[in-house]
Chains A and B, each alone.
Chain A
Amino acid sequence: MLRFAATRSLQLVPLLLVVSLIVFMIMHALPGDPVALMLQGAEGGVASPERLAELRAQLGLNDPLLLQYGRFVAHALEGDLGMSVRFHEPVTGLITDRFGSTLALAFSGLAVAIVLGVPLGALAATRRNSWIDVASMGLSYIGASMPVYWLALVLILAFSFGLGWFPPAGGGTWQSLVLPAVTLGVSASGLISRLVRSNLIEVFSEDYIRTGRSKGLSEGAILWGHALKNAMMPVVTVMGLQFGAMLAGTVVTETVFSRPGVGRLVVNAILWKDYPLVQGCVLFIAAVYLLVNLLVDVAYAALDPRIVP
């Protein structure tokens, strides 16, 4: 098991190198002079040739491309992703300052997705082809297909402005986390519930389930004691992917609910042409995504040792 985890971890290294190369190339593939773009966007006055040259030197853009890439990787390995042009702060600090908020939102969003998705899928599978199945799957389709932006505004309208239960904007309190978590969770729950349903239906046709029933086990004992555990294997993978997506793709939710987070940071960095920050954020998000996938693989191996070679 340890060997499996170590091997999978090592496989991350070339992947991260490829990601870092792609991220690095973004800056050089940009049309025009990135330094002029950065200064004109971030600085209101006319950028002097001296300032242009200074920033170019600061970013090391006068050096050969290979040297620049090597330096970027070396610094990134030390946790130094450069300085933000707009914030005048280290990129690493800007990201980590907001990552706690994003992490909290992703965790709570996933929790909502599981709490909604798993029972809904189980209910649909155990009442297959009944009106409950149709209604459950209908709900899951609605959840999955509702635009996040629209759902967020509806929730704010109902629970903030209407009932006054939760704040409509801002972070920092558990109350402020509820609506964003529900927004994210409802969307993800649709996928999870459909997956749980289809896997459960498949498991229900297995011999050991039939054996259990013939031995007189109740439907509840079969579902919770045997079927669900086995049906959850692929679902765990999807949950991991969903969690990674939530860490990287919460920008709409963060924007509507005015929450701090890495998603908003990267979008603002793009809008303000802060390329060191864009590079750093993309690399960081990619690394986190890969790490989450690694954890999912390891968890999968722990749940089903047969997949360990």
Chain B
Amino acid sequence: MMASGLFRRVAAGLMFLACGTATAQAAGTLVIAIPANQEPATLDGHIDPFQSTWLVDSLMADPLLVLAPDGTYKPDLALAWESNPAGTVWTFKLRPGVTFQDGTPFNAAAVKANLERIIDPKTQSAQMKSEVGPIKSVDVVDDLTVRVGYDTPWVTLLDAMRRVPIWSPTAMEKAGLNGFASVLVGAGPFTFVRKVPNDRVDLKKWPGYGGWNSVQKKPGAVELDGVSIRWIGSSSVLGSLVQSGDADVATFLDPISVPDYKDNKAFQFYAKDQAGTGLQFVMNIRKPPLDDIRVRQALITGSDRPGLNTLLYDGLFAVGQGPLNDVHPCYWRGAETMYPYNPTKAGQLLDQAGWVLPQAGGMRVAKGVKNVADGTPLRIRMTMISRKEMGEGLQAQFKQLGIDFAVEVVPGPVQLDRVQKREFDLIYERQRSPDPVILDQIWNSKWEVPGGWAWTGFKDAAFDALVGQLRTVPDFAKRCEIARDVQKTIMENALMLPTLSDPVYVAMSPKVKGWETGAEGNWFYVNNVTK
């Protein structure tokens, strides 16, 4: 029985190869090439924790609301929403006359079913459960009104709901938890055709779509016949696919491919920054030498980030200054003047900290440093998972200061093992989101737990209370004010080394019209696309 099952699956793979001509795309199909490292494991965004999953889902299942390219929340399957002043009760007014792709109606009961599926432990929702928060109740007020309740304020619900695919409850029930990823029935512009692992996801136009997404300019179904997403394993190949005509759009291009498209009138090209932390390195302040703030300050002021950007990336990246990058709506500008590049000052700070240059030359050594034997060389290790060239650039800069700066590029598991054992000096940690709540995730010592993201060892009750407010204050402007205070404290304590921030590069064929990038660089809309 088992053997025949195995045989059938292997045979299906071989048949797929033999019947390849059936995979030809319709003329109006938009082929989008995306790096293979962003390929979702499962296309069910209730379970899979990645932005790329939710992006693909958004083509098949409209959410309640969208984050429009102008950075504001706009209606989709919900027409309006509001919360009580405390941010503990959220009410959504739903769009009437919407049906799912299987013909079943979209209503308050459908929203309830989706939210309850996400928070159900059996679903093992990796990220979305964290995003929608500790929901206490989901109430169907009437057929087109749904109310979500919390015990404590949950002010980031809209940011979560813009990514939650609303699936057909009937289809979810019919397919079961593990079977639904191969069915995927929503109320989006495209229907699911198939997913070929490590290769592609094919979608075709849903004629019944009502153009409910506010980004869409014309009512009714989209103009494209379909979308084919190709997961490309090699960045060199990805960079050439639009030029060769094998793809209409190539996203997340490597900087090395940018000159092929930028300022080339034969193609369309754009770069979009990603709001978040940028490529930051947090510091382990539990042990020497980074337990001394002067050493930490020396690293920040002794790093020439603009120089790195010019040298390595032709100035294409944004220069990092603090815990959030300068495209984040809550960016704190004070970080720009706090640690200007000054190698002389960096050297003085190291001298003051007791790390002195030996008379014979070479790297700095300890002289009277607490808990460090005299003569111990100043050795700092940077742990990263990619962009080794950036580490090596910093290594060269810090060598001038007399720091023995080691760079190690490790796979993800080793990085996390270093974190668990607290065996790191500087380690790569990045979050992307236009919401300031990511500061709480990284810097609140409450999250210094197994599986948590607070890694530096910095603990301060007043600071924790401040950063914790990012999860409770409903007003976004007020939360940004708090976020700026948080960034100031982080930089005053020199807890992280900002480096650079890489934009998303996208190249397109000139025949693609109507492509819209989201407010975040890693999101797009094809509702208005023609080709």
Which A residues contact B (CB, under 8 angstroms)?
A: 30-33, 36-37, 39-52, 54, 78-79, 84, 86-89, 92-94, 96-101, 103-104, 152-153, 156-157, 160-161, 164, 167-177, 254-261, 264-265, 270-273
Known: A47-B450, A156-B237, A161-B240. A172 touches B198 (CB 8 A): no
The minimal Cβ–Cβ distance linking A16 to chain B, given in whole angstroms, is 16
The minimal Cβ–Cβ distance linking B270 to chain A, given in whole angstroms, is 23
From A41, A94, A173, give the contact of B20 (CB < 8 A).
A173
Which B residues contact A (CB, under 8 angstroms)?
A: 2-3, 6, 9-18, 20-21, 23, 33, 36, 41-42, 47, 49-50, 121, 124, 126-127, 129-131, 178, 181, 196-200, 230-234, 236-237, 240-241, 243-244, 246, 411-413, 416-417, 420-421, 441, 447, 449-453
Q: Is the CB of B21 within 8 A of A100?
A: no
The minimal Cβ–Cβ distance linking B163 to chain A, given in whole angstroms, is 12
Q: Is the CB of A87 within 8 A of B41?
A: yes
Residues in A with CB closer than 8 Å to B196 are 171-172, 260
Given contacts A152-B234, A169-B241, A270-B411, 18 further A-B contacts (CB under 8 A): A31-B421, A33-B420, A44-B49, A46-B449, A48-B451, A52-B451, A100-B11, A100-B14, A101-B17, A157-B240, A160-B246, A174-B18, A258-B36, A258-B231, A258-B233, A259-B198, A264-B36, A273-B416
11 residue pairs from A and B, CB less than 8 Å apart: A33-B420, A49-B450, A52-B451, A54-B121, A100-B14, A100-B16, A170-B200, A174-B17, A258-B36, A273-B412, A273-B416
The minimal Cβ–Cβ distance linking A245 to chain B, given in whole angstroms, is 19
From B12, B131, B178, B450, give the contact of A52 (CB < 8 A).
B450
Known: A37-B417, A156-B237, A161-B240. A88 touches B412 (CB 8 A): no
Q: Is the CB of B20 within 8 A of A175?
A: yes
Q: Is the CB of B10 within 8 A of A260?
A: no
Q: Is the CB of A171 within 8 A of B451?
A: no
The minimal Cβ–Cβ distance linking A35 to chain B, given in whole angstroms, is 9
7 tightest A-B CB contacts, nearest first: A100-B13, A173-B20, A45-B130, A47-B451, A43-B126, A44-B127, A255-B233
Q: Is the CB of A169 within 8 A of B413?
A: no
Residues in B with CB closer than 8 Å to A265 are 197-198
The minimal Cβ–Cβ distance linking B453 to chain A, given in whole angstroms, is 7
From B16, B127, B450, give the contact of A172 (CB < 8 A).
B16
- Alpha-carbon distance between A79 and B449 when the two chains are bound, in angstroms: 37
Q: Is the CB of B417 within 8 A of A42?
A: no
Residues in A with CB closer than 8 Å to B33 are 169
- Alpha-carbon distance between A41 and B33 when the two chains are bound, in angstroms: 25
Q: Is the CB of A172 within 8 A of B23?
A: yes
Q: Is the CB of A97 within 8 A of B9?
A: yes
Residues in A with CB closer than 8 Å to B2 are 78-79
The minimal Cβ–Cβ distance linking A241 to chain B, given in whole angstroms, is 22
The minimal Cβ–Cβ distance linking A212 to chain B, given in whole angstroms, is 43
Residues in A with CB closer than 8 Å to B416 are 32, 36-37, 40-41, 273
- Alpha-carbon distance between A51 and B36 when the two chains are bound, in angstroms: 28
The minimal Cβ–Cβ distance linking B272 to chain A, given in whole angstroms, is 21
Q: Is the CB of A86 within 8 A of B232?
A: no
- Alpha-carbon distance between A275 and B414 when the two chains are bound, in angstroms: 14
- Alpha-carbon distance between A264 and B126 when the two chains are bound, in angstroms: 23
Q: Is the CB of B237 within 8 A of A45?
A: no
The minimal Cβ–Cβ distance linking B102 to chain A, given in whole angstroms, is 22
Q: Is the CB of B199 within 8 A of A172?
A: yes
Residues in B with CB closer than 8 Å to A104 are 13-14, 17
Among A43, A48, A167, chain B packs the most CB atoms within 10 A around the CB of A43
